[in-house]
Structures are given as C-alpha cells and as structure tokens.
Homo-oligomer: A and B are copies of this chain.
Amino acid sequence: MIKVLRLGHRRGRDDRISTHVGLTARQWGADEVVFSGEKDSKMLESQRDIIDRWGGNTDIRYTEDWRSEIRDFEGLKVHLTMYGLKIDKEVEGLKSRFEDGEDLLVVVGSEKVPRWVYHNVDYNISVGNQPHSEIAALAVFMDRIIGLEEDFEGADVFVRPSKDQKLTRKN
C-alpha cells in the first residue's frame, strides 16, 4: 500500500502543481493521495474525473490534519526534500523494505515544510540536492522504488502506444 501526502496546497497558485502531484502519484502506483493546506474541492474533483475516465483505484482526498496522516501511518515514512540524504545511497535499502511488504508513505512539500516533518518521518531523502520540483522528485523516487504502473482497472479509455500518432480506444 502506497500513500502520498502533499503538504501546503494553496488555492489558485498551486492548482496545477498539485494536480500533477496527484496524477504522478497515480501513474507510479499510489493507492491514496492526500492533500493538505487550503481545501480546494475543484482541484480534487478534476483529479477524480480523470481517474474515473482512465481507471484505477487511486483514492484522492483532503485532510486538515496532516500531522495525523504522518504520525498514525504504519509503515515506512519518507519525506522528499532537497536537504535530505542522497537517494543514490538510500534507494536499495528503501526498495528492499518496500518489497518485503512494508507500506510506504511519501510526503512532498511546498515552499516551506515545517521542521516537525523532518523529525517525524523515517527518512528525509533528496532526489538531487538542488532546487527543482516536487513532481520530479516524487516521480523519480517512485520510479526507482516501484516502477511504472501499467494496469488501471475499469478505464473508459486506453492509449494504444504508437510510433507517431495519438491513438486511443474506448471500452
């Protein structure tokens, strides 16, 4: 079981970034994506609409109480931050723990992540010690630990991979 927690969403300013976080989490196999910060029903609904159409069971929800999402999670808790330990050094250990059956919580932040987060996860991991993107960090972390998810149950529409065309088929 994989849960992704997105901290500090701001309505308007973060709409598209948060949507990319949610859909990226889904593409790499997250079962649940939880958003905190400002409540933004439109952003959540637009993700649910995409999931309805493209399938799979990723659950999208909002919480005010993000501390409980971290504190009460039973499993391996990883916060992605440019200040953390290098992924290249930690990935094998984390991957084994996940493959041995531990549930995984991946926390991604916004501009300012409270110190509390750094102290209440098992690992602070950097996907590059440079400023870039929480979407990139999440995608590469999950790609290295889990790999791409290909199987989305109950989809209304599928892509037929093509050399040079945009092909879809409907269910």
Contact = CB atoms under 8 A, between A and B. Distances in A.
Interface residues of A, number: 53
B131 A23 contact: yes
A135 B124 CA distance: 22
Task: Quickly give the copy total for this chain.
Answer: 2
Contacts of A24: 132-133, 135-136
Contacts of A20: 17, 132-133, 135-136
Interface string A110-135: 00000000110000101111111101
A86 interface: yes
Interface string A137-171: 11110011000111010000011011111111000
A50 interface: yes
A84 interface: yes
Contacts of A130: 23, 26-27, 54, 152, 159
A23 B60 CA distance: 28
A37 to B, nearest CB: 15
Given A124-B164, A136-B20, A131 B50 contact: yes
Contacts of A148: 87-88, 127-128
A151 to B, nearest CB: 11
A55 to B, nearest CB: 9
Nearest to A134: B20
3 residue pairs, one from A and one from B, having the closest CB atoms: A136-B139, A20-B133, A129-B159
